[in-house]
Chain A
């Protein structure tokens, strides 16, 4: 059996078994472990110079050239690794809710299946379909098991993303219709090939529709408002999966369907607009993040803010920028998952995440504080963590992009401004850390239990991956580079 198909089917089957009445937690963890091991097998068998591998193709709608095609290249493998690793951490750390346990785990498994399916699809149509599969489980997870104003948050994310998805679908159809009749296809490889030989000549509106569609799904400023509230309200494993994995769908799509296909003649007129928007992500949302008074909302905003860097890397259209963006996809996914896992654990203990009610927790829970510090530093982009390598490559890419003109060009100006984002994120992360973990210990938090072993294992696992990719980014870059640099 095709390994990629198996990695989609395992969570789906596990979800069905869970609904049918199997022990929810054990089945889910078993499926997540199995899928992670399967990913390791795929990684070990993957040939670095082999293009798309583990291929499988079944025609679905021949009249429209739609095939159910699976396959991964280096970028796909990296995303698959991220998906299954975060899924394992999320499911292992999840606390079974009091009611509807089976639906809770089934929803998590469906999100995971949707993410894996999207990243291993070679056909743009099924890539899109798999992403949408995760929409309703997210709605249920936030709406039923969320905290705070969960219903508003659930509606907002669902309707917003449904809208964004439709915009994206229109863009994809536009791309499809740009091909001459007879050679129309949804296959990533054939689309890129057609763009290379010049038969695919999409109109500018297709570009901007795709960018906006993906942008809404990735919370590009000013379409970001669905994200922070949803992540703040979502139960920790749902936030980990959505912010860590699923949101990367849009960026991955940009790397797959936009950068290899659209020539500079089409993209350049929009560059200034998009640069302003991504600076909105970095500066505006960054400042908004500083002003947050609750840890979960702050993390939600910080995850929106970091998308700006990745957009900058993609928009730079340079090899180093794109590779940095790909590296950041993985790094940000791992670090935000660790942060949401810890903040979820904290909420379980204290029942509140307001800075004004917390303080001095490092004394009662030193190990918890230490791990949170690591995760926060990773997210800020401290050297040694993968985020640093990614950000650095993005900045190099951004600065070397654009047309050489007298003085600084638009990309260089944008990059120079974007670098300040690093300072902003250091400010909010350190402030939050000080408010929550330092200061005088409060009486009411004296008896908080220390981090549990299984949570510790999950978070440490994620942090170790971040450190490995931080000290040896080449491990990842050598996978994604052949996928990004087209022959």
Chain B
């Protein structure tokens, strides 16, 4: 019988293999990326041979393979594949900012590191023990430190790397400290163990449990870009190489939310802690919604706008987390993240192609894109509409499921806030649409050609956004695993 974490092991092996190829074979570096794409897609196919396993079947208590975990493993593999494809597109820009001792210097690492991050995040979504969570999280975070700062001759990238490193290290400190508190009181690092002890925690220790959980929430809030732990997001997103930004905003956020759900599970099912934990989450969701959306409205740079929109989407996801008492909330989170993957990667794909030609990613660089490249403009239009939550796109259904759960669990305040922030969202996403279709292109602007493969990928993402926006059943089915 294969071990349950064979998927992660094979991804790690792929990473090591690619590193070896990079070190010893003098091939064109893009072959490394394409190999990674093909092999990861093969592993993605393998996940369908592997069903979810009930808890008792897997001997290791630190590892679970429930439908959520399996869904997010597929999610992460897809995100990594898309990141690699974006990285290949991005490599000419990347090389401009790397000291070139040999041709294509640094590209090998740039293509390989996302694979390791993927393995780390795949462990994260299955982790059921704080030690496992911590180790997996570190594998991911350290990989991202390197990726963010890897454009060594670009000040923005270096600045982003330093910011991410310092704040990331700080949040790791919070996480470890929180884990020790929880361990000290419950005597367990495994979430199952904590679940079994929590109802029996004596009253005088309950504040300490909440304190420990609060510290863990700080660290996870940093991961998922929740307010007030969001300060790194705009700078890091803007400075990091664009594919890394996309990867960070999709995969890292998703993995963070899965861990958040797992960690919260024992607390929201224990009556003594339920009310207080939901209270904290409600406040977190409210401030994230408000700040993310309001701050996004004044942005003039598309990458920064997407950074704030990523905070705003974390807000919507937190609304669902704060509504976990409703039966549909968990599925809503999974579905929302699935949609977020499609529309965010589509946006970054267009952003990358435009920025390569225009040399900048301010919104005004998109002026007249409707004329310069109708394909890219249409793709960005669909992506923005989906992010704003317009019907017949997956983004609308995501918001719909979340607010259905919120109403079902009685989170009326968050729903009222949602009404305001959704309207704000229309404003800043349509600002991009306005630039593309209302403004004339700059005199120096040239038309933008997209490669046939790029067009194929765009068509695929657009179709997925629209089809799953009408018939979401395939994704919902995978999340509940019929």
Is B135 part of the contact surface with A, judged by Cβ < 8 Å?
Answer: no
Given the interface contacts A63-B476, A151-B438, A169-B403, does A132 sit within 8 Å of B391 by beta carbon?
A: yes
Among A59, A144, A160, A170, which residue has the most Cβ atoms of chain B within 10 A? A170
Binary contact track B441-479/A, C-beta < 8 Å → 1, others 0: 000000000000000000000000000001111001000
Given the interface contacts A133-B392, A143-B438, A166-B419, does A60 sit within 8 Å of B472 by beta carbon?
A: yes
Provide the bound-state CA to CA distance between A166 and B402, in Å: 13
Provide the bound-state CA to CA distance between A132 and B420, in Å: 17
Count of residues in A whose CB is under 8 Å from the partner chain: 35
Whether A173 pairs with B470 at a CB distance below 8 angstroms is no
A interface: dominant SS: helix
Whether A129 pairs with B472 at a CB distance below 8 angstroms is no
Is A159 part of the contact surface with B, judged by Cβ < 8 Å?
Answer: yes
User: Out of B415, B418, B420, B430, which one reaches A158, CB within 8 Å?
Assistant: B430
Stretch of B16-24, B49-57, B104-112, B421-429 lying at the A interface = B421-429
Provide the bound-state CA to CA distance between A369 and B470, in Å: 48
Whether B437 pairs with A170 at a CB distance below 8 angstroms is no
Interface residues of A in 86-106 (CB under 8 A from B): 100, 103
Is B407 part of the contact surface with A, judged by Cβ < 8 Å?
Answer: yes
Q: Closest CB-CB distance, A57 to chain B, in whole Å?
A: 14
Among B331, B400, B437, B471, which residue has the most Cβ atoms of chain A within 10 A? B400
Provide the bound-state CA to CA distance between A133 and B418, in Å: 20
Is B390 part of the contact surface with A, judged by Cβ < 8 Å?
Answer: yes
Is A393 part of the contact surface with B, judged by Cβ < 8 Å?
Answer: no
Count of residues in B whose CB is under 8 Å from the partner chain: 37
Interface residues of A in 113-151 (CB under 8 A from B): 128-130, 132-133, 135-136, 139-140, 143-144, 151
Chain B residues near A280: list those with CB within 8 A.
Answer: none
Chain B residues near A160: list those with CB within 8 A.
Answer: 423
Is B396 part of the contact surface with A, judged by Cβ < 8 Å?
Answer: yes
User: Out of A158, A163, A174, which one reaches B407, CB within 8 Å?
Assistant: A174
Chain B residues near A408: list those with CB within 8 A.
Answer: none
Is B370 part of the contact surface with A, judged by Cβ < 8 Å?
Answer: yes
Interface residues of B in 373-387 (CB under 8 A from A): 385
Chain B residues near A64: list those with CB within 8 A.
Answer: 328, 401, 404
Is A30 part of the contact surface with B, judged by Cβ < 8 Å?
Answer: no
User: Out of A135, A144, A163, A170, which one reaches B438, CB within 8 Å?
Assistant: A144
Q: Closest CB-CB distance, A3 to chain B, in whole Å?
A: 20
Is B41 part of the contact surface with A, judged by Cβ < 8 Å?
Answer: no
Is B434 part of the contact surface with A, judged by Cβ < 8 Å?
Answer: yes
Given the interface contacts A61-B472, A144-B438, A173-B404, does A136 sit within 8 Å of B385 by beta carbon?
A: yes
Provide the bound-state CA to CA distance between A158 and B370, in Å: 20
User: Out of B425, B427, B437, B472, which one reaches A155, CB within 8 Å?
Assistant: B427
Is B132 part of the contact surface with A, judged by Cβ < 8 Å?
Answer: no
Is A9 part of the contact surface with B, judged by Cβ < 8 Å?
Answer: no
Q: Closest CB-CB distance, A62 to chain B, in whole Å?
A: 7
Given the interface contacts A136-B385, A158-B426, A166-B422, does A60 sit within 8 Å of B471 by beta carbon?
A: yes
Chain A residues near B437: list those with CB within 8 A.
Answer: 100, 103, 140, 143-144
Interface residues of A in 152-191 (CB under 8 A from B): 155, 158-160, 162-163, 166-167, 169-170, 173-174, 176-177
Whether B408 pairs with A177 at a CB distance below 8 angstroms is yes
Whether A60 pairs with B423 at a CB distance below 8 angstroms is no
Among A68, A128, A173, which residue has the most Cβ atoms of chain B within 10 A? A173
Provide the bound-state CA to CA distance between A437 and B370, in Å: 41
Whether A159 pairs with B426 at a CB distance below 8 angstroms is yes
Chain B residues near A176: list those with CB within 8 A.
Answer: 404
Whether A169 pairs with B400 at a CB distance below 8 angstroms is yes
Whether B472 pairs with A136 at a CB distance below 8 angstroms is no
Chain A residues near B422: list those with CB within 8 A.
Answer: 162-163, 166
Among B370, B407, B430, B437, which residue has the most Cβ atoms of chain A within 10 A? B430
Q: Closest CB-CB distance, B233 to chain A, in whole Å?
A: 25
Q: Closest CB-CB distance, B430 to chain A, in whole Å?
A: 6
Chain B residues near A63: list those with CB within 8 A.
Answer: 328, 331, 476, 480
Given the interface contacts A133-B391, A133-B392, does A60 sit within 8 Å of B438 by beta carbon?
A: no
Whether A163 pairs with B391 at a CB distance below 8 angstroms is no
Given the interface contacts A136-B390, A158-B426, A173-B407, does A129 sit within 8 Å of B473 by beta carbon?
A: no
Whether B407 pairs with A132 at a CB distance below 8 angstroms is no
Provide the bound-state CA to CA distance between A177 and B408, in Å: 7
Whether B419 pairs with A61 at a CB distance below 8 angstroms is no
Whether B423 pairs with A159 at a CB distance below 8 angstroms is yes
Chain B residues near A177: list those with CB within 8 A.
Answer: 404, 407-408
Provide the bound-state CA to CA distance between A448 and B397, in Å: 52
Chain A residues near B418: list those with CB within 8 A.
Answer: 166
Q: Closest CB-CB distance, A204 to chain B, in whole Å?
A: 14
Provide the bound-state CA to CA distance between A136 and B476, in Å: 28
Q: Closest CB-CB distance, A217 to chain B, in whole Å?
A: 13
Chain B residues near A162: list those with CB within 8 A.
Answer: 388, 422-423, 425-426
Q: Closest CB-CB distance, A199 to chain B, in whole Å?
A: 18
Provide the bound-state CA to CA distance between A103 and B423, in Å: 25
Q: Closest CB-CB distance, B330 to chain A, in whole Å?
A: 12
Chain A residues near B472: list those with CB within 8 A.
Answer: 60-61
Provide the bound-state CA to CA distance between A163 and B423, in Å: 5
Whether B391 pairs with A129 at a CB distance below 8 angstroms is yes
Provide the bound-state CA to CA distance between A135 and B407, in Å: 25
Given the interface contacts A62-B473, A136-B385, A170-B407, does A129 sit within 8 Å of B430 by beta carbon?
A: no
Chain A residues near B419: list those with CB within 8 A.
Answer: 163, 166-167, 170
Whether A100 pairs with B430 at a CB distance below 8 angstroms is no
Among A129, A151, A169, A173, which residue has the most Cβ atoms of chain B within 10 A? A169
Whether B391 pairs with A128 at a CB distance below 8 angstroms is yes
Using A136-B430, A159-B426, A170-B419 as known contacts, list a sample of 15 further A-B pairs with CB atoms less than 8 Å apart, ordered by residue number in A.
Answer: A59-B473, A60-B473, A63-B328, A64-B328, A68-B470, A132-B392, A133-B391, A139-B430, A140-B433, A143-B434, A144-B437, A155-B427, A158-B426, A158-B430, A163-B420
- What are 29 residue pairs bridging A and B, where the CB atoms are less than 8 Å apart in the complex? A59-B473, A61-B397, A63-B480, A64-B328, A100-B370, A103-B437, A128-B391, A129-B391, A133-B392, A135-B390, A136-B390, A136-B430, A136-B433, A151-B438, A158-B427, A158-B430, A159-B427, A162-B422, A163-B419, A166-B418, A166-B423, A167-B419, A169-B400, A170-B415, A170-B419, A173-B403, A173-B404, A173-B407, A176-B404
Contacts from A to B (Cβ < 8 Å): 59-64, 68, 100, 103, 128-130, 132-133, 135-136, 139-140, 143-144, 151, 155, 158-160, 162-163, 166-167, 169-170, 173-174, 176-177
